[in-house]
Structure formats: structure tokens, C-alpha cells
């Protein structure tokens, strides 16, 4: 059951923030006048608040009639409308608005990444290569999305999209800086891909919950991480999925 009052209160708050930001009603005088910029930003903030994909958020709106009425939407926008608008304004705008609703409590941040293929090979040629015993040795490039979420609310507070393949740890500092700009971080939770001597040890700033890549390496930091490793807290990173 959807708690409509909670979402309407959130929408009101977002709308007030957008209103004080002096954003234009439309992105361009030539843009379609079906949905205003404040409407689309509020919808994107709700999407992030619910942590839904664009397609699933469109389905969610279909059963959220009071929210649709409150936002005075002529009809439920197609998911591509919000996707294109997000690409226009960038994720930082929406994330900054959501960050304004964060309080001063200490929160845990979970960081992880996933890869997405840029293209699909032909099924016929893939099958023929297997039949001919040809092994592909070239590594195809792909997109890698790294995100940081608060484990208490599952809000996405930082993200980075880039070409892969490459090690996860190169995005660690950026994700941390973005997240800490609007959240008071207590613990950073990440997997072994983020364990590297190139990442500055963050003891004294945040607690770190990253398992050592090699349990037997006789290094001071590795020993300390192994000794203080909190497995129960580390499992909180599953909320990022």
C-alpha cells in the first residue's frame, strides 16, 4: 500500500526548493509545453526517492493517482521523457535537491559498480564462432556504473558512469566526495575491488568496511582491516543492489 501523504509531502518540499531556485518553466522556448521543469524535477526526485528504474517508476505512477493529481500532470509521462530530461540537466541537480532533505545524523554509505555492454553481437556469428572453435581474445569495452547509496534510506547520493574495463578503485574518491557533500558519513562499505594502496586510508575521517583483497599480505593496513572487519555491517552493501 502506497503512503500517498508521505510522497505528497516530499513533492511539496521538492517543489518549494525548485521554486526558490528560479529555474525556468521550460528548458527552451522550442521545447514541448506538456510538462514543466518543476514537474519533471519533482518526478525525478520521487524516482530517486523510490530507487526505481525509469520503466518501473512509470508503472508506479499509474497507481499513484493522488500524486499525479497533486502535480497537475496532464497524463503520466513516458519513461523516456524523464530519461531525456535527466540527460539534459545532469544527475547532480536531482541529487543536490535530495541532499537538502538529509539531516545531520551519521549515515553509512555502500559503494558498488556494475558493467553494461555497449553492443550485442549477432547470435548467428556468435554461434558460428563457437562451432568453428574460434575463441575471442579481445576484451570488449563496456560502460561501468558506480554508485553510492545510503544504507538506511537507499537513496543514491553519488554516481559515476564511464567506459570500462578498469579497476573499481579509481572511482572511489569521487563517489566519496560527492556523497560527503550532502551526507555525514560514518562508515563506507565496499567490496574487494576498492581495496588498493592507491586509495588513501580514511581512518580518522570515516570508518572503512572493505575486506582485504589478500588476507595474508603482511601489511599494517591489511592486518588492521582484517582485524577490525565487521562482516555484519559489510553485508549492508547488499542494499545497494
Q: Tell me the per-residue pLDDT of 105-148, one tens digit each, with 9 for 90 and over.
A: 677 888 877 766 655 555 566 666 677 776 654 545 667 778 88
pTM for the full predicted model: 0.46
Please tell me the predicted confidence (pLDDT) of residue 101. 61
Are residues 85 and 141 part of one domain?
Answer: no
Domain boundary among 46, 73, 99: 99
The alpha-helical segments, DSSP class H, found in the chain are 4-20, 37-50, 54-62, 65-70, 79-89, 91-99, 123-131, 172-180, 220-227, 231-234
Please tell me the predicted confidence (pLDDT) of residue 105. 63
User: At a CB cut-off of 8 Å and minimum separation 6, what does 25 contact?
Assistant: 36, 37, 38
Least confident stretch, 77-86, 153-162, 170-179: 153-162
Domain boundary among 83, 99, 115: 99
Are residues 217 and 158 part of one domain?
Answer: yes
Give 76's pLDDT tier (boundaries 50, 70, 90): very high
Please tell me the predicted confidence (pLDDT) of residue 75. 92
Are residues 166 and 116 part of one domain?
Answer: yes
Are residues 46 and 116 part of one domain?
Answer: no
- Domain of residue 232 covers 106-240
Domain boundary among 51, 69, 99: 99
Are residues 138 and 88 part of one domain?
Answer: no
pLDDT at 1 over 50: no
What's the CATH number where 123 sits?
A: 3.30.420
Q: How many domains does the chain divide into?
A: 2
Are residues 181 and 87 part of one domain?
Answer: no
Please tell me the predicted confidence (pLDDT) of residue 61. 92
The separation between the first and the last C-alpha atoms of the chain, rounded to the nearest angstrom, is 23
**Residues 160 and 171: beta-carbon distance below 8 Å:** yes
Are residues 161 and 232 part of one domain?
Answer: yes
Query: What percent of the chain is modeled with pLDDT above 90?
Result: 8
pLDDT at 167 over 80: no
Are residues 122 and 149 part of one domain?
Answer: yes
Amino acid at each position: 500500500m502506497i503512503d500517498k501523504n508521505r510522497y505528497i509531502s516530499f513533492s511539496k518540499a521538492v517543489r518549494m526548493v525548485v521554486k526558490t531556485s528560479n529555474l525556468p518553466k521550460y528548458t527552451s522556448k522550442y521545447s514541448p509545453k506538456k510538462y514543466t521543469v518543476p514537474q519533471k524535477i519533482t518526478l525525478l526526485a520521487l524516482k530517486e526517492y523510490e530507487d526505481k528504474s525509469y520503466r518501473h517508476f512509470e508503472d508506479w505512477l499509474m497507481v499513484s493517482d493522488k500524486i499525479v493529481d497533486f502535480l497537475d500532470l496532464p497524463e503520466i509521462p513516458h519513461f523516456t521523457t524523464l530519461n531525456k530530461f535527466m540527460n539534459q540537466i545532469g544527475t547532480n541537480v536531482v541529487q543536490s535537491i535530495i541532499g537538502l532533505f538529509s539531516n545531520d545524523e551519521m549515515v553509512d554509505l555502500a559503494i558498488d559498480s556494475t558493467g553494461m555492454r555497449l553492443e550485442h553481437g549477432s547470435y548467428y556469428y556468435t554461434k558460428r564462432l563457437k562451432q568453428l572453435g574460434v575463441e575471442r581474445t579481445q576484451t570488449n569495452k563496456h560502460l561501468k556504473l558506480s554508485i553510492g547509496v545510503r544504507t538506511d534510506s537507499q537513496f543514491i547520493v553519488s554516481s559515476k558512469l564511464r567506459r570500462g574495463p578498469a579497476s573499481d578503485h579509481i572511482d572511489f574518491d569521487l563517489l566519496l566526495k560527492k556523497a560527503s557533500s550532502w551526507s555525514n558519513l560514518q562508515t563506507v562499505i565496499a567490496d574487494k575491488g576498492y581495496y588498493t594502496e592507491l586509495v588513501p586510508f580514511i581512518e580518522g575521517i570515516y570508518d572503512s568496511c572493505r575486506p582485504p583483497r589478500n588476507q595474508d599480505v603482511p601489511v599494517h593496513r591489511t592486518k588492521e582491516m582484517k582485524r577490525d572487519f565487521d562482516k555484519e555491517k559489510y553485508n549492508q552493501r547488499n542494499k545497494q543492489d
